[in-house]
Structure 1
């Protein structure tokens, strides 16, 4: 359980989806909270839609909506999907950037997913797992795998394992987002996009200010697939400004 020892929960929504898929064999011994979660999960229209559309998890619809509204993915782009398990965001990215080359008339993109959890293969995507995206040794491998050593888009649906202390969980997630943003000078191409999950809280404005210093635009988005009662929001930053202090490739 390496991710728990490190204090992170890679691909958090992926873990929930995996929990759902195995729920039928563990009906006995569930807690009341688990019963409530499963009941809500089974009634969730996005869960049903994910099954119909063959997405690995309902979280696919969060990225789909963000892309529909803000056009962050297009054929030919290189995408780094952090905390990719079980692969639903990578599925969307493969489709939108034409990573599988299914559209013969469009540029072919590239999708690299990284997670501490195992990810089942997906046509059009390359998965680096188990791997810690914040590990300098993994960063070097990421640059080796990305065409040209750079990504045009960095995606993250990661979250820390919840402690139940809202302020602490918020701070830990912002710390994770900050760690991913620290990768930008080494990985993100000038003009690139950064999208990460966070929880609304006291540190959000400070982190968004940091985004505005490095990107032309930064905003908060909350897709419809993100439950209303959840404090989950996404920070979207576009047009990365690669500062003079960063060495040229």
Structure 2
């Protein structure tokens, strides 16, 4: 009888632990959707069911886009301790966080070279320890680019990152043209400020002008690869052009 009671007790505890586990991992459902547009409701639902959103919270990244850069850098080794990195369109700062970690700009990797990260965005965003932040500045303006050059103080850049995208108008052709123009702005800056063997990452929305942009980048870099990280949502048209091995102009 005693052995039967012990078995039943163990079975009960096991069932209880399974129930607790299922409650813990159950998908969260968005609340307070009343009055919100359909697109807002879909965005909230998608955010709550997105594993990268939860992972970003757990790893203290400001948003899920950090995992796009982490995956790209893990594969192509664009940054390393001691590198100087420019992050364009940096808000809210998740790519800057990754760049600071990978270049050792925060000095946390003992006995490794100290890197430098300079970030800029049209929006203001909170400071990232180890990075120089320029918020409220338009990267495409001459004033902003001059400020970046002054911050470099004669140093050459090892990697230029751009997760920039224009505010969508809803007109596909105009939006594609706008983001392509941003890519060319970043490319021109990179060509002027990069050192030998430097790298470049720019975000594009897939369109007919991308092959031309790739061809232009190949004139100045050893390799150019079109990449869609796993963290990039499947229904998104975004890709990243990864250029490695700057050869000069």
What TM bracket, shorter-length normalisation? 0.7 to 0.9
CA shift digits 1:64-123 (9 cap, x unpaired): 000111111100000000000000000000000000111121000000000111110111
* Residue 199 (1) aligns with residue 205 (2): yes
Larger radius of gyration: 2
Q: In the alignment, what sits opposite 2:231?
A: 225
- Matches of 1:163 and 1:129 in 2, distance apart? 23
TM-score, scaled relative to structure 1:
0.85
Larger RCO: Structure 1 or Structure 2 (Cα < 8 Å, ≥ 6 residues apart)?
Answer: 1
Matches within 5 A, 1:7-46: 27-46=33-52
Quote the RMSD (CA, aligned, Å).
1.5
* Residue 164 (1) aligns with residue 170 (2): yes
- Matches of 1:71 and 1:147 in 2, distance apart? 25
Q: In the alignment, what sits opposite 1:114?
A: 120
Q: CA deviation at 1:177?
A: 0.4
Q: CA deviation at 1:28?
A: 4.5
Three-state SS of the structure 1 residue aligned to 2:219 is helix
TM-score, scaled relative to structure 2:
0.85
Give the counterpart of 1:99 among 105, 118, 126: 105
Give the counterpart of 2:154 among 148, 151, 157: 148
Q: In terms of mean alpha carbon deviation, does 70-79 or 134-143 score higher?
A: 134-143
- Matches of 1:65 and 1:232 in 2, distance apart? 15
Q: In the alignment, what sits opposite 2:4?
A: none
- Matches of 2:144 and 2:170 in 1, distance apart? 30
Three-state SS of the structure 2 residue aligned to 1:182 is helix
- Matches of 1:152 and 1:140 in 2, distance apart? 18
Q: In the alignment, what sits opposite 1:70?
A: 76
CA shift digits 1:25-74 (9 cap, x unpaired): x8553101100111011110000000000000000000000011111110
- Matches of 2:51 and 2:164 in 1, distance apart? 23
- Matches of 1:129 and 1:33 in 2, distance apart? 28
Unaligned runs of 5+ in 1: 1-22, 244-249
Dislocated runs of 4+, deviation >3 Å = none
Unaligned runs of 5+ in 2: 1-29
Q: CA deviation at 1:191?
A: 1.5
Give the counterpart of 1:216 among 222, 233, 240: 222
Three-state SS of the structure 1 residue aligned to 2:138 is coil
Q: CA deviation at 1:164?
A: 1.7
